[in-house]
Structure 1
């Protein structure tokens, strides 16, 4: 038998490939070579069967996987392909693990790019956007992601922005949306206001790149600073997983909430933001305000007579323009309280301000009760009094453009700003751009408060970040008409279990979405304060660009001759000018983009998906190079041949070499055991990377390892081994989330093979396709690792059968560790500080022991360790 097995290994290639067995599958494809044409036939057949999700909101055990919805620019780029391939792979994996998976898709459809492009092409933004959505939807369907298309929605639809307007009204009624005249950031190219967050470190617009100008305008703000402390504390919420550096970015953006912000009305009828660490100072009747000389208020005609109302002391606060005060960091306004601080008393005398009353803080004003009074009054009057950093500003949402959600406010000469009644929502956008005369007429309306027919609607639209700040809630029931969200479904399905998107949204979008969810939680419309539990921040897809050294002009790859690829050196063919090669974010202007449609056409959807997932972790940048393609292409071909070999071995007749095999021999059992070990080892590794780390490139490597084991198997073992059958089934099932069409075809070839063995009957549903199979599990008697680590370094790994490991506790792990010689000997002369235990069921368990070195005798140390252990 051993000789037979050895000869089988040598003859395997000759045997199978000389006969070129043809396997017929569900598609009817009868070829042995996997060509691109064959891939296209496979995908054409299976696409209708693999492209739709099946979420049931009434069912439990939900898993909400959400990728940041796209802006409909007209065509997908490789960044889209990568993020949706990641999202769909994770969604399909959890669906195969028995989860009730929700993976929605929609369109972040308002905004400047659509408006500017529509103007350039002479069409209306709605028409431009609709055509782009249709085109991108077709491409997404070609990508075969299992989106729940029944939940598709677009932010530019009145059925959506009606509820964005309702959200604005809720904020307005809580005093969290307000209008104020302010010096704002003006983009001279896009002709609109930008929030501070949309201006880069060089003072340029985040979108147009233009140098931002300062302009005094009356704008709408959302008081995000009122939730600053809650948002800062929320970063410690245990619900957050894998946020890592995003937490640090958010924490830096919010800042230390070591003071309080107030908005007091000035005699110029706008609000002035005052930040102070000492709210009680507003109780000082002698308080005055110092504003830096370059502040925009200093430019007013009556700046010298400017005052601020102080509702806390019942006084009018004088304002001085000077740079002499000790301004808090990031602030150009200083609140001086002579009754509390000696330095402020000196300033008062320097500025020649009269005392209202000569008081002493320690005798007359109780700072603690004064603080409580001020904060209580500020909350009641809706003018601040919340903890916030000195640098964080409120969210400016006004945009002076047409293509956005209309702000639902009516301006009346008698009543001022009046909210549109909820029953009159949505305030509809005009069907087209209007002339000035048409615009004037369209904006005229009746005041819902006093009935004046000469009232006017607000002309500004909302920042598109408002639209995307709550879409994850609306996705759950986009046709719900009774409120902005279906609370019953939201309560069952929130928070989002996995949120996938680019790091460029780490501050702006995530900050705004967290704020809105905190607010809606306070309104009872979201069950948790934090909207996103686990975060997967994927890296960009980078293309190789070629730039002429000196001028910096980008040129196309076919215009260049590469001189030294390792040193990124090249030259321009026409002029011999030196050219610098770099990896940069894909862009049409840099000639380094790759059209996904061309990839689909050349290699097929599944191959494109696999290539986008292979080689590097999802969180890393992906350098898109055809040099990396062969690994995936060859793997697919090897899988295709593996199924042909399986069919050949199982269907061969009158073959003595295959038939006369002793399946009870030690040699056969040894080969069968190898397959048992290979299956469990690679299933364990792939599952860990699918479920726990999302290192999908590593999962591909594990699956390729299993392919290698299958390809090395002698044909006699393929013919008779139950473990080969199980391993091959596991191989196809684990491939399915990444390459659903190809795996479906392989599975149909697999189940079509006659003479199946009975070993896997209990774990496979032969009558169902591959996507309906349950994810392969680790065998109960397969031995897994209990890793013992000391101060982060592995001391030893103890093998424990899976059925025992899954039930192990922290105390059990400690017991095992302290009965292991390598652990106890290493702990001699060390004191245990703490321990923690992590269990990954069906994968591994890890006991971490953290120790300090101590200078004690051996007996004392042993006693100390025993004492800690007993505790």
Structure 2
């Protein structure tokens, strides 16, 4: 082992009169480009990124003894090109991933591809190439773009939903649903997209009846479809939203609750008897005793069964009640008071005046007798559950998940239809059921129904000739469980091993667009609850903390007269008005989601060429927090660009002054003045570390954290004497802390700045446990405040700030809610605001940063409430 000894000059007497720094040469990191005499520009930034790219991309720090932290951005559909929404979400996740590594966690930060679906198939048809070829080409292109942005993904965990090695396990999970009676086939009036020629779930049709994909007006058709009985878990999914472990869900909880609805009724699966056989009929009621005492059913004339039976000329209908084992008559009637979202009603005239009136209308005789409404209701639910025919609580409006799609490019449903045995599951050992290979879609193969060689097969039970199911699964099925596969992507025996989930689930931080806050999140939660019911997972809830990022908005221009969008280059401004060049027609100017058709998009590739990847990431994260829509404008760039230049100049000056013997040996300062200036820098360092940590770790308001780092930069550039820059331990430590804290966002730039320390002779704070000078910046630890620094302890009374105390950083983590309350009640600013007493209190402890005590006092209008409690 080679050891280098560096003698430190006499002027470093503040730390040590003379000391030596030993450096292991095998650990010595790459040197800087030594361009410190140059002014920072894009060319230098690009050279820096090329110089440090290997170290930045191969940031694979791992220690199995450390706790895990799972950062998961929603995986993309591989369209072939990144858009600014992608750049934003992955810049957010990458920053959090790198931050958590600096905090000492083993970070899981995977990437994959939501690769099935209509867009790929339609694009393949247009180009007359197989969807597989088109999709794999797009994946390769987008992966290269992600690498150009130097995102810190675990590429060894990469998955693609169109890979048979992945969808084998989607099929495996489907078979488990089928075994448990949660996957079933039934005729239904469905939404048909006439353009994409496939069924859509209700959730995929907008408020005006158009397809979420094609925009076409949806038609109604009666088709036999596959469903997943998500309604069976409705109550658990609703109640789970009250879980105290869910962080930052905010209005997403209300969106989910609204979608699920108040679970105030019970469903039982009846069988409708018809000339062509039995049909499944879900019967919902808020009065479960009716499942024992109900004397007849009504179905709306819009009910699928009613429409079919009208064509069969059936006069008498009956349904089998699985709770009582009896058959009851069924009437087609629009006079019943159907619950929201339902077209079947079970009537019990003995307990319901409406049902009695309905019986009179239908000329049904009613026998009076006593009914134990509560007792028989509980009994009916118990009987339905014991017979596995329902009995679960659900809202009337929530429907089961329709997963059938009539297109080629999706996961095949692993069911074989036999004339004798009916629907037979494909044996597990025969999975995956692979899509048949096609050379192109030239012949119009858009569904599996045309692939005869693939369809015709043998029944696994009786070995007669049979046919495969030709529907494929909705792509939401693929993405309903992918977050678990990321944790065990190479498993060939199971979808995942439960032990791999321990400590990693629920996902610590899930990041994605608000447009997925209802559908995808609902399906993913359902699947997680189902898998947990099988004992496969440690927790039911899949995601702990949500970061819902806003859209990237661009400024658009359109003619007031026609609404036609105009490219920015065809626009000129007169005062506050905008007009079209040539026609002088007035324009409407507004911020909208970026789109090619609106001419308001931004090409990430152009940004990378103009500014480099670090600056691009910094631009997308600065100014507004992740949850807020980002208005993309060149006018916001100068602040960020100038900040980078100021950081560059700070390191330039540090190196220059450190190399200047005259400055280093100067005696212009007394020890007292020198110490006073150092204390100011130390106070600023601690203040900005506490604030930046708070926003990076707890609020994820990265833009606020960035502004704090800009503030710390200003401290270091606040006309400090050269002697302080050259000789101050606190200046060196503060500059090092600043560079470390910025490194999650601009890892290349900060690697170069950090290497600048090697250009300056000597090391003043060499004994600091906070800094590992022999390691590069990505291998440092996130800075922490000094033990004796006093952190903020704020008390809010009825929402208003009333008192702020200071608590030493070493003591704050040990301060309990009881201690905090006792401390604040001694303060007059607090006690005089609480005249009647305390209604409730809430204590927020952020150990490295601050503490906040919220007190709600008793007012006149809540005295009664307190007494009741």
Q: By the TM > 0.5 criterion, same fold? A: yes
Aligned equivalent of 2:582, options 574, 580, 584: 574
Superposition deviation, residue 640 in structure 1 = 0.5
**Compared with structure 1, are the counterparts of its residues 250 and 685 closer, same or farther at alpha carbon in structure 2 (3 Å cutoff)?**
same
User: Is the 2:175–2:425 Cα contact (8 Å) retained in structure 1?
Assistant: yes
Residue 855 of structure 2 is aligned to residue 849 of structure 1: yes
CA deviation digits over 1:33-67, x for unaligned, max 9?
11101111111111111114537595441100000
Residue 54 of structure 1: aligned partner: 60
Listed one character per residue, the Cα deviations across residues 784-818 of structure 1 (whole Å, up to 9, x for unaligned) are 11112211211111122211223222222233223
Secondary structure of the 1:197 match is helix
State which of 286, 302, 305 in structure 2 corresponds to 1:294: 302
SS at match of 1:727: helix
How much has 1:537 moved relative to structure 2? 0.2
- After TM superposition, the structure 1 = structure 2 runs for residues 774-789 of structure 1, keeping only pairs within 5 Å, are 774-789=781-796
| Contact persistence 1:662–1:668 (CA under 8 A) | no
Indicate the SS of the match to 1:334.
strand
**Which residue of structure 1 aligns with residue 289 of structure 2?**
280
The residue aligned with 1:146 is 152
Give the match for residue 459 of structure 2. Answer: 447
Q: Retained in 2: the 8 A contact 1:783–1:800? A: yes
Measured against aligned partners, the alpha-carbon deviations of 1:337-377 in whole angstroms (never above 9, x if no partner) come to: 1343344234223312356xx35133xxx444533443233
317-326 vs 477-486, which deviates more?
Answer: 317-326
Contact 1:663 1:720 in 2 (8 A): no
Cα distance per residue 1:182-223 (max 9 Å; x no partner): 000001111100001111111111111111110000000000
**1:493 corresponds to 2:504:** yes
Equivalent residue, structure 2, for 1:821: 828
Aligned equivalents of 1:778, 1:813: Cα separation in 2? 21
| Residue of structure 2 equivalent to 1:741 | 748
Which residue in 2 is equivalent to 1:360?
369
Pairs within 5 Å for 1:582-601: 582-601=590-609
Distance in 2 separating the partners of 1:825 and 1:279: 54
Secondary structure of the 2:328 match is strand
**Equivalent of 1:771 in 766, 778, 785:** 778
RMSD over aligned Cα, in angstroms?
A: 2.0
Taking a change above 3 Å as real, the CA distance of residues 52 and 664 of structure 1, as seen in their structure-2 partners, is same
Secondary structure in structure 1 of the residue aligned to 2:811: helix
- Rounded to whole Å, the distance in 2 between the matches of 1:352 and 1:315 is 21
Closer, same or farther in 2 for the Cα pair 1:435/1:625, shift >3 Å? Answer: closer
Q: Separation in 1 of the partners of 2:829 and 2:488? A: 57
1:752 and 2:759 equivalent?
A: yes
Structure 1 residue corresponding to 2:142, chosen from 136, 143, 148: 136
Q: Shift of residue 256 of structure 1?
A: 0.5
**Bigger CA drift: 753-762 or 832-841?**
753-762
Structure 1: which 5+ residue stretches go unaligned?
A: 1-23, 856-860, 862-867
In structure 2, C-alpha distance between the alignment counterparts of 1:76 and 1:593, rounded to whole Å: 12
For residues 839-862 of structure 1, the C-alpha deviation after alignment (integer angstroms, 9 at most, x for no partner) is 11121112222212479xxxxx9x
Asked if 1 retains the 8 angstrom alpha-carbon contact of 2:841 and 2:855, the reply is yes
Between the aligned partners of 1:339 and 1:477, the Cα distance in structure 2 is 57
CA distance in 2, matches of 1:549, 1:65: 45
**What residue number does 1:170 align with?**
176
Query: Is contact 1:82-1:612 (8 Å) kept?
Result: yes
Shift of 1:127: 0.3
Matched position secondary structure for 1:387: strand
Alignment of 1:250-649 (within 5 A): 250-268=256-274, 269-284=278-293, 287-300=295-308, 301=311, 302=313, 304-353=315-364, 358-362=367-371, 366-432=372-438, 433=441, 439-452=451-464, 454-564=465-575, 569-649=577-657
Tell me, yes or no, if the aligned pair for 1:57 and 1:489 is still in contact at 8 Å.
no
Counterpart CA distance in 2 for 1:449 and 1:339 is: 48
Q: Deviations over 1:406-457 (max 9, x none)?
A: 00000000111000000000000011257779612220000001000x2000
TM-score, normalised with respect to structure 2: 0.92
1:303/1:668 CA distance change after superposition, 3 Å: farther
Higher alpha-carbon deviation: 165-174 or 665-674: 665-674
- Evaluate the alpha carbon distance shift between residue 345 and residue 438 of structure 1 in structure 2; reply closer, same or farther with a 3 A threshold: closer
Matched with 1:5 is none
Q: Is the 8 A contact 1:97 1:774 kept in 2?
A: yes
Partner deviation per Cα, 1:726-754 (whole Å, 9 max, x = no partner):
10000100000000010111001123311
- 770-779 or 669-678, larger mean C-alpha shift: 669-678
Shift of 1:837: 2.0
- Is 1:117 matched up with 2:127? no
- The answer as to 2:818 corresponding to 1:806 is no
Structure 2 unmatched runs, 5+: 1-29
CA contact (8 A) 1:609 1:738 kept: yes
**Distance across 2 between alignment mates of 1:94 and 1:558:** 43
Match of 1:126 in 2: 132
**CA distance in 1 between partners of 2:779 and 2:412 (Å):** 45
| Distance in 2, Cα, partners of 1:799 & 1:754 | 38
The residue that corresponds to 2:99 in the other structure is 93
Deviations 1:613-638 (A, max 9, x none): 00001000001111101111000011
CA distance in 1, matches of 2:785, 2:359: 77
Q: Indicate the SS of the match to 1:151.
A: strand
Distance 2:804 2:322 in 1: 68
* Residue equivalent to 1:708: 714
Q: What secondary structure does 2:754 align onto? A: helix
Distance 1:43 1:648 in 2: 24
Q: Deviations over 1:150-175 (max 9, x none)?
A: 00010000000000000100000000
- 1:751 to 1:57, Cα distance in 2 relative to 1, 3 A: closer
